């Protein structure tokens, strides 16, 4: 007697409201989704608390750095607001991939500034942050389709 084994593919269950209930029936898939969500939460906390907050409250160390760059308080507040928005957007399912890409672009700029203005003193930090942001952008790329659908519906 022969047995035919069919490969198990990812199963997506959609509720009546249109939200995805499960993407993978395997425990490994669930663990991967949980780990990715945890990474998003950690990065969001980093961007909101450790990066944006000092700029938005004009902490002396942040103000000194932006003065050295010649950007002053306007540049400091602008970057702080961008980091705050990106950190919050990492937690919003429809915005998570776009937020990761935007924060990656911000980190490229931070790397260039660290190398050119500060002599590369902390240049590794933005590069290290780009790696998990790129992972999130790629793994959550399906949210771009949902976002595009929402934008088109509003237009």
What is the per-residue pLDDT for 155? 78
Phi-psi region of 14 (alpha: psi -120 to 50; beta: other; left: phi over 0): beta
What is the per-residue pLDDT for 23? 56
Percent share of the chain, pLDDT over 70: 85
> For 28-53, what is the mean pLDDT?
96
| Better-scored residue on pLDDT, 60 or 11 | 60
What is the per-residue pLDDT for 58? 96
Which token pair is 30? 């669930």
| Paired sense of beta strands 13-14 and 20-22, if any | antiparallel
Model confidence at 9, pLDDT cuts 50, 70, 90, reads: very low
Q: Is the pLDDT of residue 11 over 60?
A: no
pLDDT (tens digit, 9 = 90+) per residue, 108-137? 999 999 999 999 989 999 999 999 999 999
Percent share of the chain, pLDDT over 90: 79
C-beta atoms surrounding 87 within 10 Å: 23
What is the per-residue pLDDT for 110? 96
DSSP letters spanning 90-149? TTSTTTHHHHHHHHHHHHHHHHHHHHHTSTTTTTHHHHHHHHHHHHHHHHTTHHHHHHHH
């Amino acid at each position: 007697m022969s047995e035919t084994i069919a490969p198990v593919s990812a199963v997506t269950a959609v509720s009546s409201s249109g939200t995805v209930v499960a993407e993978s029936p395997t425990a490994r898939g669930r663990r991967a989704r949980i780990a990715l969500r945890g990474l998003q939460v950690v990065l969001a906390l980093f961007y909101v608390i450790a990066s944006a907050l000092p700029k938005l409250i004009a902490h002396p160390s942040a103000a000194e750095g932006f003065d050295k760059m010649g950007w002053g308080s306007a540049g400091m507040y602008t970057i702080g607001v961008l980091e705050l928005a990106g950190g919050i957007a990492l937690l919003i399912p429809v915005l998570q991939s776009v937020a990761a890409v935007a924060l990656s672009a911000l980190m490229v700029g931070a790397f260039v500034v660290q190398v050119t203005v500060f002599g590369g003193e902390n240049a590794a930090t933005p590069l290290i942050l780009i790696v998990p942001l790129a992972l999130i952008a790629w793994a959550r790329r399906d949210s771009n389709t949902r976002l595009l659908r929402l934008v088109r519906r509003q237009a």
